[in-house]
Amino acid sequence: MKLNGTKHMGAALLCTVLLTGVPFLTACGGDHSEAKQENQVVEVHVTDHQLEMPTSLPTGPTTFKVVNTGTHEHSLGITGPAGDQKLEAALKPGETGEIELYLDSGTYRVYCPVDQNQGHSMQIALNVHDETGSTGG
């Protein structure tokens, strides 16, 4: 009988140790999800006359999904505080491409390099703001 009592006491002690350790394990693992920002996806339509996309975005990792909805070849370039990036190749009508970029706050120039090379200027200004600063009025 004494063995059973010791066995139950050992099980109770094990449960106590495990239960007191759970808050520490939870606290250690909870911060990682907040530190990693979710990637925002922005759809960009490049027509023969304009770029169709939002003109204001929050900071963070961003994927620009570019669709050529025009009748000629087009491309997309982005220049600003986070650097300069362009699609690797021009898109034929109906083709798509992607640019991945971490947007820092500031103003970016979004443009079509193909049109720029042909003497046209198809571009827009993209204002990127810190999400915490955008909630104030």
CA atoms within 13 A on the CB side of 66: 27
How does residue 121 score in pLDDT terms, banded at 50, 70 and 90? confident
Q: What residues does each domain of the chain span?
A: 1-36, 40-134
Q: Name the CATH topology of 40-134.
A: Immunoglobulin-like (2.60.40)
Per mean pLDDT, which range of 17-21, 58-62, 125-129 is the poorest? Answer: 17-21
Token pair listed for 17 = 């140790």
Token pair listed for 19 = 């239960």
Q: Scanning the structure block, which residue is given the tokens 């449960």?
A: 15
DSSP state of 107: E
Give the pLDDT confidence score for residue 28 in this predicted structure: 45
Q: Is the pLDDT of residue 63 over 70?
A: yes
pTM of the prediction? 0.68
CB-CB contact of 108 with 79 (8 Å): yes
Extract the runs of DSSP E, i.e. beta strands, from 23-115. Answer: 40-46, 51-52, 56-58, 60-68, 77-80, 83-86, 96-103, 106-111
